[in-house]
């Protein structure tokens, strides 16, 4: 079975800067894959190399078995890319723009039915005859997604698709992208919203300084780096007291909440017992599960 | 996977889009240059009309028309491809073309033909309006067509080079103001180079616009300042050289894919 995307030792250097540094990565067909990382981590450069917008300094990239440089026409037929920036052609309306885009891929009038279906599924029907300039940011974002789909590519890459999008539209886009994945499309998503990656992606790669610092299923990453925290709310004068009495049990204080990092769940009862023995009244308590954000921060932090 | 049919549809789609793009703003891209051409015609013919006879038996107004048609054709062919590319680069929507399987040759031919069509359309409009004032002979229609086609193509390719190279609108404006405008104004549109001092006559022979206009004018009157075959050879050579440079730039992705 063909792999959807294969990066082999891919690098991109801009003079002294290594934007992407020897990345090897395989994304299987039908996967919902997340690419996470802070600004400047190299996510967009990696995607732009896959799209043929940037030439790699080293290595090779295959999309659906086609090399993106040597067999660029076949490779580009196989992938639909939603760019990060809200770019548009100011001369045309949504339907015209989508039909032109399909035409560049060799799709004739028979494809117009699919174009109309994409318009409908992205709730753009009312705006189909509206000039791109007159669309709101959210509508432009939908039109960009539609543009990536008009030639029915098996692989869809979304570079920060929900950046600057309100919560309602974000939810709609999520469910639409999920639908596409359920229909068999391979999805690659780069995002800053970690909850988005956690909710949607089966597998995640975290990038930092052009390198992959973690690559695993979302589930495994959460398990491997899982940390539980105990949060207790105390009276303010009690906090001063425990700072001196619980020197061997470090905690973080935020207002009247104290957060204790737990190595194992049983540590929680030990802390509660200690507080009881010191006759410190617990006003409230919570056991917090670790999320992708914690893992992300841990892996991408300088230390 | 990417069949010949796909490639034909792809090229045709881009050509259609480029033609629609200038047609959507026809007031700016067609009406404005036609009015400018007609104004030149009216002013120069009023001021110099009865005092000059450049070629024997040919009124100055009649002499002026082919030059003005060709000048407008050349400027508009250049504008079409250069403005399309620079706008797409600055707006960022060039990405929609770069993400497609369109090859560098498909891009080249679609932009080139659109540039020729716009140039010729503006030229035909000026010709039709001029017909209301004078009776313009066409001695060699094939020369008219071939010079219009090659001139439009040459300038379309030059416009692509400028559009790919420039990264700002002011750089593009510099091309228009400091290269295209002086070369076209000093190419013999308004005069025969035989009326110039010998040194300026020599300098004029280094201006490729001179050959495009002189050859085009030969098609109308059967008279020209230099051999129309020499002009055709020079225009064709420039057309081929500029096309080659454009294709190389598109193939390498110079200032487009990085």
Nearest by CB to residue B95, choosing from A55, A73, A87, is A87
Contact by Cβ (8 Å): A7, A23: yes
Contact by Cβ (8 Å): A103, B9: yes
Q: What is the pLDDT of residue A21?
A: 94
Higher-pLDDT residue of B245, A256: B245
Contact by Cβ (8 Å): A89, B96: yes
Q: Compute the average pLDDT of residues A42-70.
A: 94
Does residue A226 register a pLDDT over 70?
no
Nearest to A90 by CA among A133, A53, A61, A143: A133
ipTM of the complex: 0.91
- The model's pLDDT over A65-93, given as tens digits with 9 standing for 90+, comes to 999 999 999 999 999 999 988 999 999 99
Judged by average pLDDT, the poorest of A146-160, B34-48, B204-218 is B34-48
Does residue A1 register a pLDDT over 70?
no
Q: Compute the average pLDDT of residues A25-44.
A: 91
User: Could you tell me what percent of chain B has a pLDDT over 70?
Assistant: 98
Q: Which residues of B touch A103 (CB under 8 A)?
A: 9-10, 12-14, 16
- The model's pLDDT over A233-292, given as tens digits with 9 standing for 90+, comes to 988 788 877 777 677 777 888 888 888 877 777 788 888 888 888 888 888 988 776 666
Nearest CA in chain A to B23: A91
Contact by Cβ (8 Å): B252, B108: no
> What are the residue ranges of CATH 3.30.70 in chain A?
225-300
Nearest-Cα distance to chain A for B136, in Å, is 37
Mean pLDDT score across all residues of chain A: 88
The answer to whether B3 contacts chain A (CB < 8 Å) is: yes
Higher-pLDDT residue of B44, A75: A75
Instruction: Return all residues near A282 (Cβ < 8 A) that are at least 6 apart.
Output: A232, A233, A234, A272, A275
Q: Grade residue A2 by pLDDT with cuts at 50, 70 and 90.
A: confident
Nearest CA in chain A to B89: A87
CB-based contact A52 B98, cutoff 8 Å: yes
Nearest by CB to residue A74, choosing from B1, B9, B88, is B1
Q: Residue A192 carries which DSSP code?
A: S
pTM of the shown model: 0.86
CB-based contact A103 B3, cutoff 8 Å: no
Q: A38: exposed, middle or buried (C-beta count within 10 Å: 0-12, 13-18, 19+)? A: middle
Higher-pLDDT residue of A195, A23: A23
Q: Which residues of A touch B25 (CB under 8 A)?
A: 91
Q: Grade residue A300 by pLDDT with cuts at 50, 70 and 90.
A: low
The answer to whether B28 contacts chain A (CB < 8 Å) is: no
The answer to whether B12 contacts chain A (CB < 8 Å) is: yes
Mean pLDDT score across all residues of chain B: 93
β-bridge partners, A160:
none
Q: What is the pLDDT of residue A255?
A: 83
Does residue B196 register a pLDDT over 90?
no
Helices (H), A8-154: 43-51, 72-77, 94-104, 112-121, 137-149
Query: Does domain A225-300 fall into CATH 3.30.70?
Result: yes
Q: State the Cα–Cα distance between residues B77 and B159, nearest whole angstrom.
A: 8
Q: State the Cα–Cα distance between residues A194 and B129, nearest whole angstrom.
A: 65
Nearest by CB to residue B93, choosing from A54, A81, A89, is A89
Looking at 3.40.50.300, 1.25.40.10, 2.40.240.10, 3.40.250.10, the CATH number of the domain A5-223 comes to: 3.40.50.300
Q: Which residues of A touch B101 (CB under 8 A)?
A: 72-74, 76-77, 104-106
Q: Which residues of A touch B96 (CB under 8 A)?
A: 87, 89, 101, 104, 147
Q: State the Cα–Cα distance between residues B10 and B27, nearest whole angstrom.
A: 28
Q: What is the pLDDT of residue A303?
A: 43
Does residue A47 register a pLDDT over 50?
yes
Q: Compute the average pLDDT of residues A214-231.
A: 77
Q: Grade residue B53 by pLDDT with cuts at 50, 70 and 90.
A: confident
Q: State the Cα–Cα distance between residues B149 and B235, nearest whole angstrom.
A: 10
Q: Compute the average pLDDT of residues B147-161.
A: 97
Q: Compute the average pLDDT of residues B169-189.
A: 91
Q: State the Cα–Cα distance between residues B242 and B74, nearest whole angstrom.
A: 14
The answer to whether B26 contacts chain A (CB < 8 Å) is: no
Nearest-Cα distance to chain B for A86, in Å, is 9
Does residue B12 register a pLDDT over 60?
yes
Q: State the Cα–Cα distance between residues A30 and B46, nearest whole angstrom.
A: 74
Backbone angles phi, psi at B136, to 5 degrees: -100, 120
The answer to whether B57 contacts chain A (CB < 8 Å) is: no
Nearest by CB to residue A52, choosing from B5, B88, B257, is B257
């Amino acid at each position: 079975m063909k792999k959807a995307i294969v990066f082999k030792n891919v690098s991109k250097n801009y003079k002294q800067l290594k934007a992407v540094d020897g990345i090897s990565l395989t994304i299987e067909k039908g996967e919902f894959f997340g690419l996470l990382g802070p600004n400047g981590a190299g996510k967009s450069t990696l995607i732009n190399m896959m799209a043929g917008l940037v030439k790699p300094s080293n290595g090779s990239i295959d999309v659906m078995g086609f090399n993106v440089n040597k067999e660029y026409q076949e490779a580009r037929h196989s992938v639909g890319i939603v760019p990060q920036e809200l770019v548009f052609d100011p001369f045309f309306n949504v339907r015209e723009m989508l039909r032109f885009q399909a035409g560049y891929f060799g799709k004739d009038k028979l494809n117009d039915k699919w174009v109309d279906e994409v318009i409908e599924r992205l709730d753009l029907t009312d705006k189909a005859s509206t000039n791109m300039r007159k669309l709101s940011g959210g509508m432009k974002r939908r039109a960009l997604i539609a543009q990536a789909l008009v030639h029915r590519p098996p692989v869809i890459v979304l570079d920060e698709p929900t950046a600057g999008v309100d919560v309602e539209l974000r939810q709609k886009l999520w469910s639409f992208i999920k639908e596409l994945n359920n229909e068999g499309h391979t999805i690659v998503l780069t995002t800053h919203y970690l909850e988005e990656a956690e909710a949607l992606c089966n597998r995640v790669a975290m990038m930092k300084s052009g390198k992959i610092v973690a690559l695993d299923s979302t589930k495994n990453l959460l398990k491997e780096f899982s940390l539980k925290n105990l949060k207790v709310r105390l009276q303010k004068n009690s906090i001063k007291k425990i700072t001196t009495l619980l020197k061997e049990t470090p905690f973080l204080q935020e207002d009247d909440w104290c957060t204790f990092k737990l190595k194992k769940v049983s540590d929680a009862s030990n802390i509660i017992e200690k507080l009881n023995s010191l006759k410190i009244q617990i006003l409230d308590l919570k056991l917090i599960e670790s999320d992708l954000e914690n893992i992300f921060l841990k892996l991408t932090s300088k230390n | 996977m990417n069949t010949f049919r796909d490639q034909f549809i792809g090229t045709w789609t881009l050509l259609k889009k480029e033609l629609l793009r200038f047609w959507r703003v026809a007031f700016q891209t067609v009406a404005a240059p036609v009015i400018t051409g007609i104004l030149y015609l009216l002013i120069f013919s009023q001021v110099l009309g009865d005092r000059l006879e450049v070629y024997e038996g040919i009124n100055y107004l009649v002499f002026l028309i082919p030059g003005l048609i060709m000048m407008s054709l050349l400027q508009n062919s250049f504008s079409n491809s250069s403005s399309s590319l620079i706008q797409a680069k600055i707006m960022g929507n060039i990405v929609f073309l770069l993400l497609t399987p369109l090859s560098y040759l498909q891009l080249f031919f679609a932009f080139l033909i659109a540039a020729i069509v716009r140039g010729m359309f503006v030229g035909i409009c000026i010709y039709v309006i001029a017909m209301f004032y004078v009776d313009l002979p066409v001695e060699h229609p094939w020369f008219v067509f071939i010079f219009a086609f090659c001139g439009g193509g040459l300038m379309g390719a030059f416009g692509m080079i400028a559009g790919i190279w420039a990264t700002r609108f002011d750089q593009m404006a510099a091309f228009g103001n400091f290269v295209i405008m002086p070369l076209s104004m000093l190419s013999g549109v308004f005069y025969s180079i035989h009326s110039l001092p010998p040194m300026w006559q020599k300098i004029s022979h280094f201006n490729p616009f001179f050959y495009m206009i002189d050859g085009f004018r030969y098609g109308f009157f059967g008279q020209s300042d230099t051999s129309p075959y020499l002009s055709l050879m020079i225009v064709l050579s420039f057309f081929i050289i500029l096309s080659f440079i454009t294709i190389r730039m598109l193939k390498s992705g110079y200032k487009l894919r990085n």
